[in-house]
Amino acid sequence: MKKDHKDWKIADLGTSKGSHTALNRIITEKLKKLSGLLLQQDSKCWEIGNLCIDLLDNWGLSLGEIAQRANYSKTRISHFHLTARIFGRDQREGYTFQDSLTARQVYLGLPRLNMTPVQIRNKIVKMRSKTTKQVRSYFVHLLMKREMNKSLAKSRKYQPKGTGGLINTCHHADYQSIIPKLPAHSVNLFICDPPFGHKEYIPGNYLSYRTKVGGMRTDCDNSSAEDALAATLPLFKLCLPKLAHGGVLILFQLGGRPDRIEVLQEAQKQGWECSYGLTWNKGSISTGNFVNPYRICSERILVFCRKGEKVEKGQDGMPTPDILDFSTDTSGIGIKMGRGKMKYGDCHLFQKPSTLMEFLVSHHSYPCDLVVSPFGCSGVDAIAAHKLGRRWVYIESNKNNFLYGSGRISQALDSQTTKVG
C-alpha cells in the first residue's frame, strides 16, 4: 500500500475522476484530524508529530502536501514532524513538547556542541524560567567559551617572539605607553579605530541581540561612551610629535551621527587639521532597531594632517569618492558559525574588512613607510601594512584581543609574501 501511493500528488487526490478511492478517503480523514489537532496544538503536539510521520512514511505525502491540505505553515509542520522523529515515543514521558522542540533546534543549529538531543533537553528542562531566546543564547555562549579557549591556546603558540623592539612588533599595552617611545617624525600613518563605547545591548545600539549571541568576539577595554572618548582624545597630543612630514592620522568614528565636537576641538587644539570626513558604507545594517527612523550602515573616517600641511595622494595615486564602499567581514558570520562553517570566536565584531584597510594603507602611505595601529584588536591594519610592504606597530590593551590579533598577525607573517611597490 505504501509503495502504491509514493508518487501521489495532492492534485490527483482532489481531482481524480469518479469518487474518492478508499485510500483517498483515509488520507483525507487523517488530514482532517490533523487540521483539528493543529487548532489545539499546545496539548496535541506529540500527536500531530506522530500523524505527520505516519502521513509521510506510510501514505507517501510530502511535507508540502500535508501543509497544503491541512492549510497550515510548512515550517510549523516540519517542526512537529522532526521533533517527534528525534524524540521517539519512549523518550517523551515527563518532557514538554516545547522543551524537546528547543532541544532539537539547538542540536541542529549547533552541531559543534557535540551533545545529544537528550543531553541538551536535560539542560533545557532546568531553564524553564528562561525564554527560548535566552536558552539558545546559553548554548551559544557555552560553545563560544569552549571554542575560544581552544583558539586562545592556539594564539598563544603564535605570539611573536622577541618583542623587545618597537617596529614590526605586537605590543600588549596601552598605546599611551608605547607611542612616546617611537622616534620623532617617524610615523607616516596612524590608523586609529578606538572603541565607540557600546558595551551592553541597548535597543538601537551597536551590540544587537544577534551579534551578542552570534559567536563573535566582543571584548573591548572601554565600555561607556565617556571611556571611549577618554581613550581617543590623548591620541592627538601623543601622535603629533611622532608624525612624519606629510603623514596622516585616520580616525574611525560612529556613523550616522554628527562628528564629536570634543574630538574636533582637541585635534585643533593640539595642532591638527581635519582635512576630510569620509563615509565608510559597510553594505549592511549594523545598528538600530525598528523604533529609530534610521538604521546605521556606515562609519565615519576622519582624516587629519598636521596644521599647515596637505593630505597628499598616496602610493595608489588616484583620487577616489569620499564614500568608501567595502562590505564588512562580519555580516553573515554569525550564521556561518551557527552552521559550523566557521569556528566560534574566529572573528571580532569590531574587525574591519581587510580590503578597506589595504585601501587606506595604500592610499595614504608608500612602501617602507611606518604604519601604527594604536587600537590593534584583530590585527587587520598591521596585516594590511605588512602585506603592502610597510613597517608596522600593533598595540592592543585587551588581553584576549591581543592574543587573537597577535596570533593572526604571526600567521599572516608566516604565510604571506610581502608585496612592495
Ligand X SMILES: C[S@@+](CC[C@H](N)C(=O)[O-])C[C@H]1O[C@@H](n2cnc3c(N)ncnc32)[C@H](O)[C@@H]1O
Residues binding ligand X (CB under 6 A): 174-175, 193-195, 220-222, 231, 348, 350-352, 374-375, 377-378, 380, 395-398, 401
Q: Which is nearer to ligand X, 84 or 395 (CB)?
A: 395
Q: Are 272 and 251 in contact (CB under 8 A)?
A: no
Shortest gap between Cβ of 285 and ligand X (angstroms)? 18
Tell me which amino acid residue 26 is.
I
> All 3 cell numbers of residue 169?
612588533
Q: Which is nearer to ligand X, 106 or 384 (CB)?
A: 384
Shortest gap between Cβ of 254 and ligand X (angstroms)? 10
Shortest gap between Cβ of 352 and ligand X (angstroms)? 4
Shortest gap between Cβ of 220 and ligand X (angstroms)? 5
Shortest gap between Cβ of 252 and ligand X (angstroms)? 7
Q: Which is nearer to ligand X, 81 or 408 (CB)?
A: 408
Residue 254: half-sphere exposure toward Cβ, Cα within 13 Å: 21
Q: Which is nearer to ligand X, 79 or 363 (CB)?
A: 363
Helix/strand/coil (H/E/C) assignment for every residue in the chain: CCCCCCCCCHHHHHHCCCCCCHHHHHHHHHHHHHHHHHHCHHHHHHHHHHHHHHHHHCCCCCHHHHHHHHCCCHHHHHHHHHHHHHCCHHHCCCCCHHHHHHHHHHHHHCHHHCCCHHHHHHHHHCCCCCCHHHHHHHHHHHHHHHHHHHHHHHHHHHCCCCCCCCCCEEEECCHHHHHHHCCCCCEEEEEECCCCCCCCCCCCCCCCHHHHCCCCECCCCCCCHHHHHHHHCHHHHHHHHHEEEEEEEEEEEECCCCCCHHHHHHHHHCCEEEEEEEEEECCCCCCCCCCCCCCCCEEEEEEEEECCCCCCCCCCCCCCCCEEECCCCCCCHHHHHHCCCCCCCCCECCCCCHHHHHHHHHHHCCCCCEEEECCCCCCHHHHHHHHCCCEEEEEECCHHHHHHHHHHHHHHHHHCCCCCC
Q: Which is nearer to ligand X, 49 or 215 (CB)?
A: 215
Shortest gap between Cβ of 316 and ligand X (angstroms)? 21
Q: Which residues contact 88 (CB under 8 A, 6 or more apart)?
A: none
Q: Which is nearer to ligand X, 66 or 380 (CB)?
A: 380
Q: Which is nearer to ligand X, 134 or 163 (CB)?
A: 163
Shortest gap between Cβ of 229 and ligand X (angstroms)? 11
Shortest gap between Cβ of 136 and ligand X (angstroms)? 27
Shortest gap between Cβ of 306 and ligand X (angstroms)? 23
Shortest gap between Cβ of 402 and ligand X (angstroms)? 8
Tell me which amino acid residue 350 is.
F
Q: Which is nearer to ligand X, 106 or 383 (CB)?
A: 383
Q: Which is nearer to ligand X, 100 or 397 (CB)?
A: 397
Q: Which is nearer to ligand X, 169 or 397 (CB)?
A: 397
